[in-house]
Amino acid sequence: MIVFPLAAAVIAAVCAVMIGRDAARRPKPDKIAWLIAFALFAVAAGCEVVGSAAGWTPLLARVYYLAGAVLVVGYLALGELYLLAPGATRRFGPGVMLLLTALAVTIVLDAPIDAARLSAEGWRALQRGPALVALAAGINGLGTAILAGGVVWSAARFWRLGIQRHRMIGCVLIAMGTLVVAAGGTLTRFGQPEYLYIAMALGVAIIFAGYLETRRLDVGRVSAPSAPRFAPGVAERVGPTVVPAGPAANGAMFRAAPTAPAAVQPDPAVDFIETTFLALSPDACDRLCETWSVPAADSSFDRSTARSVWGLRSRLSIDGRRRFDAMPPSVQAQLAELYDDVLLPPRSQRRAPKRSRLRGVIRPR
């Protein structure tokens, strides 16, 4: 029966494509790790579909075991480590995972396959020696421990600080989805191999829901500013309402009448940056940004970074701009990335600003 592995492959592939599009717009290491993990899910389930429909080959069996049984939990754990400890993970995580991947590829390619069992049992015909068993158990055991331990650590920390509630929920969902996938392997011992793919499809969906939850805006604890914030470009100025000049009945000229400032809805993300991040020293601001999964940026600006920095600066209050300008360029880029990629909703969910319906306003000469 290929229905369940096909469903698991389609779900995993759709998730990988969505994460890939997100990573292409704004590359970040945690997104790359999630992309690899979901692609490995899709490849493993796809091997089962092809093997069941057209017959198993030694290559299919090796690719299935490498992607689904050895590596996928390791890349899931790497993605969560980027969320929980971005600084240390950035320094050591990629190198360690690439080394384990190369070692796994070498051992799986060298593992013998029982040709007599291949057509009937598929990937189970791969003979797993002590080295392969130890590697698979080590990666899966350590990865599961990181996922479960990360849930406990992040839940305790975020609950104590009262921040990042969505990230905490996302980590919990990711760990739950991983455990659901792992449970599928246990269910196959009851003589129904398709249980693995029922669990895999459900687990992948839960993991992807957790990934989406970690990207959501968390503004529940952000206090509203004490004074109204004005629209970008107004900068707390009072503009005049201009009346066409001309002689009145008594020969006097009409004069410009002051109007109220054009106030807009306060931006909780901007207020959070001003009250929490810009109140810190540059080093402390850098460390707090890393806690929010925004690592230190290069001090040189490209065109896109410069626009993001200017866009955030234009939304700050006068005092906020003064403190923002005192930060090093690398910290300014971190804060701009924090505002655009973490605190704001995804671009697809943002509403375009409404155009003004005022017409016929005559500017003074």
Residue 310 and residue 200 in one domain:
no
Of 184, 199, 214, the last residue of a domain is: 214
The pLDDT assigned to 47 comes to 92
* pLDDT per residue as tens digits for the range 278-328: 988 888 888 888 778 788 765 567 788 888 899 999 999 998 899 999 888
| Domain around 24 | 3-214
pTM: 0.59
- Contact call for residues 312 and 339 (beta carbons, < 8 A): yes
Predicted confidence band of residue 148 (pLDDT cuts 50, 70, 90): confident
Residue 171 and residue 27 in one domain:
yes
Domain count, the chain: 2
Residue 39 and residue 177 in one domain:
yes
> Is residue 293 assigned to a domain?
yes
The pLDDT assigned to 232 comes to 45
Residue 80 and residue 189 in one domain:
yes
Residue 12 has pLDDT above 90, yes or no: no
* pLDDT per residue as tens digits for the range 189-232: 555 666 677 777 787 788 788 777 766 655 544 444 444 444 44
Q: What percent of the chain has pLDDT over 90?
A: 18
Query: Which residue has better confidence, 131 or 200?
Result: 131
Residue 172 and residue 43 in one domain:
yes
The pLDDT assigned to 190 comes to 56
What average pLDDT does the structure give for the chain?
76
CA angle in degrees (0–180, nearest 5) for 352-34-126? 150
* pLDDT per residue as tens digits for the range 232-247: 444 444 444 444 444 4
Residue 58 and residue 201 in one domain:
yes
Q: What is the CATH number of the domain that holds 203?
A: 1.20.1070.10
The pLDDT assigned to 229 comes to 45
Q: What percent of the chain has pLDDT over 70?
A: 70
> Is residue 353 assigned to a domain?
no
> Is residue 35 assigned to a domain?
yes
The pLDDT assigned to 231 comes to 43
The pLDDT assigned to 188 comes to 57
What is the SS3 string spanning the chain?
CCHHHHHHHHHHHHHHHHHHHHHHHCCCHHHHHHHHHHHHHHHHHHHHHHHHHHCCCHHHHHHHHHHHHHHHHHHHHHHHHHHHCHHHHHHHHHHHHHHHHHHHHHHHHHCCECHHHHHHHHHHHECCCHHHHHHHHHHHHHHHHHHHHHHHHHHHHHHHHCCCHHHHHHHHHHHHHHHHHHHHHHHHHHCCCCHHHHHHHHHHHHHHHHHHHHCCCCCCCCCCCCCCCECCCCCCCCCEECCCCCECCCCCECCCEECCCCECCCCHHHHHHHHHHCCCCHHHHHHHHHHCCCCCCCCCCCHHHHHHHHHHHCCCCHHHHHHHHCCCHHHHHHHHHHHHHHHCCCHHHCCCCCCCCCCCCCCCC
